[in-house]
A and B are shown apart, each in its own frame.
Chain A
Amino acid sequence: MRGAAMNEELTLLNNDYEKKYGFKVEDKPLVKLEGLNEETVKTISKLKNEASWMTEKRLQALKIFTTKPMPTWGGDLKNVNFDNVTYYLRSNQKVEDNWENVPEEIKQTFERLGIPEAERKFLAGSGAQFESESVYHKIREDLSKVGVIFCDMDTALKEYPEIVKENFGRIVPAGDNKFAALNTACWSGGSFIYVPKNVKVTAPLQAYFRINAKNMGQFERTLIIADEGAEVTYYEGCTSPVYSSDSLHAAVVELVAKKNAKIRYVTIQNWSSNVYNLVTKRAFAYENATVEWIDGNIGSKLTMKYPSVYLMEKNAKANILSVAIAGKNQHQDAGGKVIHLAPNTTSRIISKSVSKDGGRSSYRGFLKVGKNATNVKATVRCDALLLDEFSRSDTYPTMQIEEKDAVIAHEATVGKIGDEQLFYLTSRGLTETEAMSMIVLGFISEFTKELPMEYAIELNKLIHLEMENAIG
């Protein structure tokens, strides 16, 4: 009885992916570059009419990429075929700030995903990327008037070259890892945000990344700078059609939170199960600044992503909340890294993973307390929930503590859904599927409660909870 209901649950989770997110529109590329070599990289840079320093940076990164071996830890990367990837694909002429001007098929795609509607309802600014290029970007006028910048990265490179040059690759250098190098060589699109001193952006800014074409490689680059005392919340979502061949998403995200600033970065990653998602996310937090990564991984074939925070100056805080749901043929290798480099810094990593139907989720974390980082407080907690005996969960925590007075708490649990929990709920009239959804959602509620209501509802739907949250 349990087994049959379990299988039903497994297919229900994300089973409407194909219909809701997995659709594709007709491919009408204006430019398409396949294969990775100097020529491709130079062409990307030339098409974008970039300054020569950026072309140089790209070419250097390409060298790093070709010399660095594939990582042998984390997930299984041996089927990634770099020759069979589209490195640049453009289907639009320019970035629009009015949905009416976005090419029809692309506009339809984002309408189906509810993006313009979300923008009207509750966002302070919205961006949309289709394949390699941003197609739409807009920020509320009152915010642009006080100096908040929210645009695509290519526009930022042209319009704010100094601030981009100062920070691009400073937080995540091309040499950090093979996929950061790949991104630096081929990057296109992504978001740029600058929030001036003491400006607090209360509604979230959002960008949505969409892959449409087969064998696509998407390499967006995001840079967020919150100046002293500034506050901003950024949300990103992503989906793609289901193909039998693999796609590659290798993004780099760099955050700078200056003195007293606060950045909250929320991701709901829901790529189709043919996407390798290999992303480097890192933040520098200066005096008394707070950086929060709220990182949800539901989709993809393999995700390797460990958002990190470098606590550079005293009293800085890091908060990493990571959720991974690994289903059939999925491996979520996720977690977080915190590097304490200054006194009185605090951090908290909470990781929640759910494995089902043979899926695998791994927590991989790194916590470092450097010399002179005295009076540090750090908490790491990872909880895993297994829905069946075919699934797998691992934890790979690493700690390097160089100051004796650091207070470190580390806790890890692995659990299964209990028969008594299921019976309790089914005796109340819930089906086993509904009961399991409720228990799983409870398990990840620390994550869900950090989301804006709109996203929480969407997530609940993803996890097949037919519960009316309106009353919550």
Chain B
Amino acid sequence: MKNTLTIKNLHVSVEGKPILQGISLEIKSGEIHALMGPNGSGKSTLSYVLAGHPKYKVESGEIWYGNTNILALKPEERAKRGLFLAFQYPVELPGVNYQNALYTMTKARRNLPPKEFQAELKQCLEKLNLDPSFIQRHVNVGFSGGEKKKAEVLQLLLSKPSLAILDETDSGLDRDALEIVGKAIQELRNKDFSSLIITHYPKLLRYLNPDKVHIIMNGRIILTGDNATIQKIEQEGYAWCGDE
């Protein structure tokens, strides 16, 4: 299984404080998984660790993508192997033209001549209902909450990753934007694409129909279920999960 993400008994700490305490997870190529859980449960930590943030210290455990242990790889090497993280809080880059940045980011992963890039960019902007003037702004500077999230999805679409981690991409999006984003990601579904969707809300998941739903609490996955789990959380919150 070339493109399976396998997380084995992962323990992670930040500045000496343990956050993830034995996460194990497998996402096969072609699957979309959802990760839900209350604030502070370790969702964002997991996404940063997968992407290779230097601040997070892996105490033990393994992360395999295909037949590579990616823990030894730098963030850019992971990106080149197909990983993409849509940030919960996209970072502002003052003075950096968004279009130039998009091209550099895209080119880092794919060999795409400028003309074809322009054509794809135009398509993606239309798909996400973003004004063409959007890309003349500076990266994430002065973007509204919704624009920032759409901008992450724009990068995702252009990057064509084989594994996309979406960290609360839905928060900050209004209903229409949520539908646009949900459908755009659903369109990516195929046998060579897998995704981990981190969210608080079931709304986005309705468009994506995830193969599995994991509930994380206190740094551990305490439950793995399906669409029925989402409905139950929508009605009852997370309190019941620990009892299963």
Contact = CB atoms under 8 A, between A and B. Distances in A.
B99 interface: yes
A177 to B, nearest CB: 34
B10 to A, nearest CB: 18
A442 B94 contact: yes
A419 B93 contact: no
Nearest to B74: A426
Contact of B155 (A428, A434, A439, A442): A428
**B: interface residue count bin:** 35 or more
Contact of A441 (B76, B95, B105): B95
Contacts of B74: 1, 426
A445 B141 CA distance: 14
B114 interface: yes
Given A429-B80, A444-B95, A472 B75 contact: no
Interface in B48-90: 51-55, 74-76, 78-80, 84-85, 87, 90
Contact of B95 (A2, A423, A428, A442): A442
Nearest to A5: B74
Contact of B97 (A2, A445, A470): A445
Contact of A470 (B76, B78, B114): B114
Contacts of B101: 438
A124 B110 CA distance: 40
B54 A1 contact: yes
Contact of A430 (B84, B97, B104): B104
A434 B96 CA distance: 13
A86 to B, nearest CB: 42
Contacts of A441: 95-96
A162 to B, nearest CB: 47
A429 B102 CA distance: 11
A7 interface: no
A122 interface: no
B97 A429 contact: no
Interface residues of A, number: 31
A471 B87 contact: no
B91 A420 contact: yes
A429 B109 contact: yes
A427 interface: yes
A23 interface: no
A421 B91 contact: yes
A442 B155 CA distance: 19
A428 B93 contact: no
A430 B108 contact: yes
B196 to A, nearest CB: 15
B190 interface: no
Interface string A434-466: 100011011111100000000000000000000
Contact of A428 (B97, B99, B108, B138): B108
A470 B100 CA distance: 9
B39 interface: no
B165 to A, nearest CB: 10
A419 B48 CA distance: 13
Contact of A442 (B75, B78, B96): B96
Interface string B136-164: 00110000000000000001000100000
Give the top 7 A-B pairs by smallest Cβ distance, nearest first.
A429-B108, A442-B95, A442-B96, A429-B79, A445-B95, A424-B91, A426-B75
Interface of B: 51-55, 74-76, 78-80, 84-85, 87, 90-91, 93-97, 99-101, 103-105, 107-109, 114, 117-118, 138-139, 155, 159
Interface of A: 1-2, 418-421, 423-432, 434, 438-439, 441-446, 467-472
Given A420-B91, A445-B97, A446-B95, 12 more contacts: A423-B75, A423-B91, A427-B51, A427-B79, A427-B84, A429-B108, A438-B93, A439-B93, A441-B96, A442-B93, A442-B95, A442-B97
12 contacts: A420-B91, A425-B105, A429-B80, A430-B105, A438-B93, A438-B96, A439-B96, A441-B96, A442-B94, A444-B95, A471-B118, A472-B97
